[in-house]
Chain A
Amino acid sequence: MELFLQQTVNAFALGGTYALLALGLAVVFSIMGLINFAHGELMTIAGYVLMYCGLAGISFVFAVPLALLASTFAAVLMERVAFRPVRNSSGATMLVTSFAVAMILQVLFQNLISVRSQPVLLPEALSGSIMIGGLVIGVNKLVAIISTVIMLIFLDRFLSKQKYGIAMRAAAEDFAVARLMGIRANTVIAGAFAISGLLAGVAAILWVSQRASVDPLMGFTPVLKAFIAAILGGLGSLRGAVAGGFLLGFIEIYLAAFLPPALQEFRDPIGLGLVVLVLLMRPNGLLPAASLKAEKV
């Protein structure tokens, strides 16, 4: 039982990180219909800011907001430079653009920073662990869970109470009608990118605090997981992205924890098989977006 609880805590921490990642993709997708594969590179940017802050001797307490600022700013810039010119093009054009942005950024990191991974100095407190009710919980797990909860509450408040948040929800539901109501397209889309950049930054800090290094290609794995989670939850639905992220985290951890040793090698295919199974039963994802209701994928 204790082992089960312990693994559940692990699953919450990993699922929370996936949820933040998937939300980042979903926020942009819900409004623009773009799956931004350069989302991972926003994480890399936040990671490099943490690294440079460590080198410059800036305390982690200040490094974190700087990293969040950097990824938010980079996301807005990305929209302005790369995605605005293709905003009205087909989904495929935007998808290819996002791949191009990702590759260009990776090459820039490789040439301007280093092809090799760079160590990131982290506060020692993050590596420790504490006892809660007989469970040993790693501090960075706890931080992951807490920051996921904070981000989710913040996002929920923002989308339901704030003017810009409501505008974004309206745009997500029907962009054309929202524009007729006087909502500025540029503002809403830039806002969506800013939020996705902020989410990427938070996820990057959690991600980097586990691996302790940054390298130019580190964004690929997380964006892939986020993509799976977003599809699983229902593409374009924010609640779905959160649900998909948590479900993916739970699947991964429980399989790693409780699959018999002989089957452990097949953990990944079994995990993805479960994802396919869920999609067979719910083709539009766990909590599909309203706009997708009529379509069967």
Chain B
Amino acid sequence: MKKTLLTTGILAMALSGSAYADTLKVGVATAQTGALAHYDGPVVEGLQMGVDEINAAGGIGGTLKIELVQKDVRSDAAQTAIATQELVDAGVKVLILPCDADPSLAAISIVDSAQVPAISTCASSPTLPMIGGDYMFANFPGDNVQATVSAQWAYDQGMTTAYIVYSPDTQYTSMPLYFADVMETLGGEVVGKDTYTLGQQDFSAIATRIANMDPQPDVVMTSAYEPDFPSFIKALRAAGVTSQVIGSDGIDSPTTFAIGPAADRLVFTTAGHPTENSAMAEFNAKYKETYGEESQTVFNAIGYDLAKVIEAASLAAGPDATSQELRDAIANLENVQGATSLITYKGTNGMPVREVTLIGVMDGKRQLIGQPSPNPAIIPAPKMQ
């Protein structure tokens, strides 16, 4: 009897062992519907492209195929926790979580107790890995870094008075508070603050208040995204505010470029730009080949980055690596060439070092303003807002 058990045991181990050696199961719990689908939708397109490419070449290192197990979390925090638990139970080795710190945070306890490394598709709040612990990683330039780059740019352009409009509803929408910190560190002045509610349709009260300031602030900064941002900037311009408006990565979407004259001279930070012969230009060409249309947003390339990060970590950890070993491998990645930028996790708490790109909108067209390196001395420390 004992012998039979032992043989079956060995047999089972051998079987499962061989099954694991051929594929790396990646659990993808992202928001394919709801408010975050603007971001997670394109990210998963890019991720799928990267995975297909790796698998077509035989898999990671030519042998290990990536298997994506997908679940829609409907932009809902509770659903993210449920989906994460299901994926962990299904035996995934790496998890991909939604594009916002708040739903990703809902999965922390599951990620932590299962000891499976989790990467948020595009959350940019530096508090995510800080609260999330050793197994939580981000895949985007941090809010504090983005705000440093945009504030430095504004200050260098001679803009010294700033007005910020933020929402305390999520970590991401409180990015302007970092902007205010950097502006003050640089010697600028924050002349006003306003809050809004996510999904707020009408910004006319705030716009009128700013328009009635004398003098108007040099720069108005917000990290509002769709559908709030278009309403905001249209209300601002209609009220007669001519200040420079600065936004962040959440508005890197087709809507922003279709707003028309109200969005002229708008500047925002994002994760990359397809300069000539860059990795992103190459990615965009491949994207067009695969999907038959131009990539409309940087979030496609961000998804491809995820595939590259997983590939690099798995190569470093070996094909039979446990999820804990994969976690250590991700934490030690250095200069992985993604589609948007070089990506480094080594020496960080899980918030990657990546390039930040400043984009200007001119006549509905995307214009590269620069890809400056932020001054580490003035980057504000991550904080819960």
Binding site for B on A (CB under 8 A): 2-3, 6-7, 10, 13-14, 110, 115-122, 124, 127-129, 136, 138-141, 207, 210-213, 215-218, 221-222, 252-254, 256-257, 261, 264-265, 267-268
Contacts and interface: CB of A to CB of B under 8 A. Distances in A.
A222 B202 CA distance: 11
Contacts of B239: 129, 136, 138
Interface string B344-355: 000000000000
A216 B33 CA distance: 9
Nearest to B297: A116
Contact of B201 (A3, A115, A207): A207
A116 B38 contact: yes
Interface string B39-59: 001100000000000000000
Interface of B: 32-35, 37-38, 41-42, 168, 193-195, 197, 199, 201-202, 204-206, 208-209, 211-212, 226-228, 230-231, 234-235, 237-240, 253-255, 257-262
Contacts of A3: 208-209, 212
A210 B255 contact: no
B201 A211 contact: yes
Contacts of B234: 127, 138, 140, 210, 212
Nearest to A120: B258
Contacts, number: 126
A24 B206 CA distance: 28
Contact of B259 (A140, A212, A216, A252): A212
Contacts of A139: 238
B237 A119 contact: no
26 contacts: A2-B212, A3-B212, A6-B212, A14-B202, A110-B33, A117-B253, A118-B254, A119-B255, A119-B257, A124-B261, A127-B259, A127-B261, A127-B262, A128-B238, A140-B234, A210-B202, A210-B230, A211-B226, A212-B231, A212-B255, A213-B230, A215-B226, A216-B33, A217-B35, A261-B194, A265-B195
Nearest to B259: A212
A2 to B, nearest CB: 8
Given A127-B260, A212-B258, A138 B202 contact: no
A261 B202 contact: no
A53 B240 CA distance: 30
Contacts of A120: 258
Given A116-B253, A140-B238, 14 more contacts: A115-B33, A115-B37, A117-B38, A118-B255, A119-B255, A127-B238, A127-B262, A136-B211, A138-B239, A210-B201, A211-B231, A212-B234, A215-B226, A267-B197
Contacts of B230: 210-213
Given A115-B37, A211-B201, A218 B260 contact: no
Nearest to A110: B33
A217 B37 CA distance: 11
Contacts of B32: 115
A116 B37 contact: yes
A221 B254 CA distance: 23
A28 to B, nearest CB: 23
A124 B257 CA distance: 14
* B33, B208, B234, B258: residue with the most chain A Cβ atoms closer than 10 Å: B208
A265 B238 CA distance: 25
B240 A253 contact: no
A257 B231 contact: no
Contacts of B34: 115, 217
Contacts of A2: 212
Nearest to A130: B238
A119 B260 contact: no
